[in-house]
Structure 1
Amino acid sequence: MPEPHTTDWSVRLRLVEVGDLTQAHAVLDTGVNLIEVDAEAHRSAQDPADPAIGDELAVGRALAALGQQLIHRGSTAAEAVESARRRDTP
């Protein structure tokens, strides 16, 4: 049985709330690359003035954007490998 490949990645989140706007900045550190995304949430006049709600929405959006970037990067890398394999196969 092959040895498992284990890697630790870390995500840092910074939240800033100004008035009705909550901004989230997420940084994924893979040990090799840093991937950064920004997202925000706007509180409407009828929403409760609870900062936790804006935090959750902004962070959720940032993490979703981060996930989309990872899927795109992985798909692009896999396609490049497959394309190179096809070129090199007679």
Structure 2
Amino acid sequence: MTRNLEWRVGVELREEAGRTKAEAHLDTGTATFTGHGSARCNPADTDVPVIGDELAASRAMKDLAGKLMREANREMEAVGAGTVPARTGPGYGWPEAVS
């Protein structure tokens, strides 16, 4: 079976009252997911807006990834497949890539 899919993730950023807030949106065609993230500059640090953007966006995408993984786990359980235990090691991917 060959399948080709394309999922697009969009990230919206906004600054409000010294905080950068981000929302990451994923539409799979059958479901939608939204992740949230935020960042703020420490008053003692130099204000570099791009760093706040990167932190907020990465946190939103991490939240989105967690929601997608939880949905995959629910779907695996629904068809009788086991899921990965919550704490088995470094997570997904190559161990050397996450150290």
Q: Which amino acid aligns with 1:67?
A: A
- Pairs within 5 Å for 1:21-40: 21-40=19-38
Q: Which runs of 4+ in 1 moved over 3 A?
A: none
Counterpart pick for 2:77 among 76, 79, 89 = 79
TM-score norm. by structure 1 comes to 0.82
Matched, 1:18 2:16: yes
Counterpart pick for 1:7 among 5, 10, 18 = 5
Q: How many residues align?
A: 81
User: Which protein shows a greater Rg?
Assistant: 1
TM-score norm. by structure 2 comes to 0.75
Going by fraction, where is helix more abundant, 1 or 2? 1
Is the 8 Å Cα contact of residues 16 and 23 (structure 1) preserved in structure 2? Answer: yes
> How far off its partner does 1:6 sit?
1.1
Greater shift after overlay, 17-26 or 58-67? 17-26
Is the 8 Å Cα contact of residues 26 and 37 (structure 1) preserved in structure 2? Answer: yes
Deviations along 1:18-74, one digit per CA (max 9) or x if unpaired, are: 242000011101122111122111111122211100000000000000111111110
Please, which runs of 5 or more residues in structure 2 have no aligned partner?
Answer: 82-99
> How far off its partner does 1:17 sit?
1.0
Match of 1:86 in 2: none
